[in-house]
Amino acid sequence: MLQFAVAGPLVRGWAWIVDVIIRFCLLMLIVFLFSDLLSNQEAELFIAGILIIVQFVLAWLYTSLYEGLTGATPGKKMFGLKVIHENATPLTGSGAVIRNFLRAIDGLPVLNAVGLICMLIDNRFRRIGDLAAGTVVVYQDKRPHHSAEKAAQATSPPASLTKEDRQAIVDFAERSIFLSKDRQLELANLLKHHMKDESDPVATLKGWADWIMGGQYNAQSKDI
């Protein structure tokens, strides 16, 4: 079963603001590039024409094209979001068109109010465009990486561990690099009374983890 973390209104709001800023900057960039050419009325008309077209493309096609081709606008990418269909397949071109053209309704009356209300009602934070296109905005997977510290030596854990216990112990070892020494000790101390050698609970716990990961775990273990 594929699982995704659905993105909420706040992070999507930030992504939207970033996209608005990017588009504004692009428009300003064009004004800036052509500003030297504003010598006569004729050139002014030309540039005004270009600006109108660019503004139209940015308003209507920027999001559709980005999402249709890459699954996320630059703003969404920045916040680690992407748009997918509800069956977890990548966003299709028509899906991108539907959900982005319906921004005309979601954006009403100001600042995406309609879309926000719809998102807050829906259990998957879908706005009207998402409902019509069958899409959800989710967090892109962060690639997890193995980070277990090597224990000094594998020691056999108590025999009565359940599957969840074993998993918790391994998780402790793998996540210990994100924890301070004090926090590690605090956590390891919770299991102190199960340890034969109580001198260094953290090392013992990591030894157990190493045993669970690599050692043959069996009921014959004599340690309790």
Partner 1 sequence: MLNQKTFEQQHKQTWAELDECLTALEATRLFRKRKTDSAHHLPTLYANLCQHHAIALSRGYSHTLVDTLHAQINRAHHQLYRYQGNWLARTMRFIGGGFAAAVRKEAKLFGIACLLFFGTALVAGSFAAYSEDIAELILGGRTKFNIEQMYEPNTFDIRPANMEDASSFYMFGFYIANNIGIDFRVFASGIVFGIGSVFFLLLNGVSIGAAAGHLSAIGYVDTFWGFVAGHSAPELLALCISGTAGLMLGRALISPGQQSRALALLRNAQAAVPLVLGAGLMTLVAAFIEAYWSPLEFALPIKVAVGLLIWVVFGAYLLFAGRAK
Handedness of CA 93, 99, 105, 107 (dihedral sign): negative
Nearer to partner 1, 122 or 200 (CB): 122
222 lies in the binding site for partner 1 (CB under 8 A): no
What Å distances lie between residue 42 and 27, 46, 50, 176, 221, CA to CA? 20, 6, 13, 68, 90
| Cβ pair 34, 45 in contact under 8 A | no
Q: Which of 105, 116, 179, 187 binds partner 1 (CB under 8 A)?
A: 105
Kindly write down the DSSP assignment for every residue of 173-212, as one continuous string. Answer: HHHGGGS-HHHHHHHHHTTGGG-S--S-HHHHHHHHHHHH
Nearest-approach distance from CB 199 to partner 1, in angstroms: 26
Residues 17 to 76 in contact with partner 1, rule: CB under 8 A: 41-46, 48-53, 55-56, 59-60, 69
Cα first-last separation, the chain: 37
Stretch that binds partner 1, among 9-17, 28-36, 91-99, 187-195 (CB under 8 A): 91-99
Binding letters toward partner 1, positions 136-175, x by CB under 8 A: -----xxxxxxxx--------------xx-xx--xx--x-
| Residues that bind partner 1 in the complex, under the rule CB under 8 A | 2-4, 41-46, 48-53, 55-56, 59-60, 69, 88-90, 92-94, 97-98, 101-105, 128, 131-134, 141-148, 163-164, 166-167, 170-171, 174, 212-217
